[in-house]
Amino acid sequence: MPTINLEAPFYDSLRVQKTSQNFDCDPQIYLKRELKYDVPPLDSDWQIGLIVGPSGAGKTTVARQLLGESLYTGFDWARDKALIDNFPADMTTQQINFVLTAVGFSSIPAWIMPYNVLSNGEKFRADLALALSLGRENDVVAFDEYTSVVDRTVAKTASMALHKNIKKGRIKRRFVAVTCHYDLIEWLQPDWILDMESGACSGGCQRLRPEIHVEIRKTGKEFWKLFERHHYLRGNIPACNDYWCGFIDDKPACFTVVTNLQIRSIHAKRVSRLVVMPEFQGIGIGGKFLSAVAAHYRRNNWDVYANGRHAAFVSFMRRSPDWKQVCVNKAGRVVRYKKDNGTREYQKINRTTYTFRFRRGADKKYE
């Protein structure tokens, strides 16, 4: 069992002497410390590791000893740049969008804001995405103080999203979380766990991840106000629609709108404005919620369509056996703006929108 010997300097000041005398504390005893720990199987075939223990147990010290420069402790984010402009210059916009979505950070409006104006939960996911963007394929990325500044809902859903995307090969990194939170074990599902309270290293999590139950209710238009700022389309929605909201533990988690759609004299419905609250992004509830709503109308003999262009939406719909892609619309618009020297510039922006149809018979699994 390896040992790290730590020794702090002793400052023999008047205050130190008085404090030591008042509490009968010999400072020389506490200036030296040994950290003993089992070495994790870093040379074996693993994808996710966890170094966990109470505060002051030596997690960061051991992580630095084991992983060296692979330990991510923070980044100096520019205050005068959008979040996505802080990522490495050799990354394409599509790659940046993907890694942000993969860690459960799918709020496009937040991507174009400076890092310093984001919430703590958004900052955590941005740091996590950046850490996973550094280095090369299959490199080890260790993240210190993992989920320490976010609420437990964000911590658990972010861990679930990270586990899913690493295990499915979408994030090609080996990841080590360094944290004091034991409640993440069943959500992160690591391949090995180094518990610094005892110094013992054990195999992966033997517990099943808890199920997430979403209660779907038909609601009013007023719920859109809760979700509006997290969607890239901020315009008003008509009052003649149906509005659906998904609740987790009675807390609004996802929202969508259903409108009438006329296609070749066949009555159909279109689901749109799918939004998932940031604390629940990345765990797959948005797509299943959308399918459950579509199944409700399909059982009443409506054809149901959905369209969008968000990468996470398109990826889910293409993988889902419930939906079939029926159309790709490549539209464009011309943007005019003024340069600093006063000259006018024109730029054409192409936007591709994908349309999917809910398959007939797919509604039976949602009965």
pLDDT tens, N- to C-terminus, the chain (367 residues): 788 888 788 888 889 888 888 888 887 777 788 889 999 999 999 999 999 999 989 999 999 999 998 999 889 999 999 999 999 999 999 899 999 988 989 888 899 999 999 998 899 999 999 999 988 888 999 999 999 988 888 899 999 999 999 999 989 999 999 999 999 999 999 999 999 999 999 988 877 888 899 999 999 989 998 998 888 766 667 667 899 999 999 999 999 999 988 766 577 999 888 999 988 988 889 999 999 999 999 998 899 999 888 888 898 999 999 999 998 887 655 555 555 566 655 555 567 889 999 998 888 877 6
Cα–Cα distance list, 68 to 61, 78, 190 (Å)? 10, 25, 20
Strands 266-276 and 303-308: parallel
Cα–Cα distance list, 247 to 22, 47, 130, 252, 253 (Å)? 55, 32, 30, 5, 5
pTM: 0.80
Q: Where in the chain is the domain with CATH 3.40.50.300?
A: 37-203
CATH C-level class of 37-203: alpha beta
State the pLDDT at residue 85.
Answer: 96
Token pair belonging to 4 = 């790290």
Helix axes of 120-133 and 152-167: crossing angle, nearest 10 degrees: 20
State the pLDDT at residue 206.
Answer: 76
State the pLDDT at residue 223.
Answer: 92
CA-wise closest residue to 248 among 276, 207, 208, 290: 276
Q: Which residue pairs from 344-349 have beta carbons closer than 8 angstroms and sit at least 24 positions apart in sequence?
A: none
Chain position carrying tokens 């619309």: 329
State the pLDDT at residue 360.
Answer: 83
Name the H helices within 168-223: 185-188
State the pLDDT at residue 139.
Answer: 92
- Tell me yes or no: is domain 215-366 CATH 3.40.630.30: yes
Q: Where in the chain is the domain with CATH 3.40.630.30?
A: 215-366
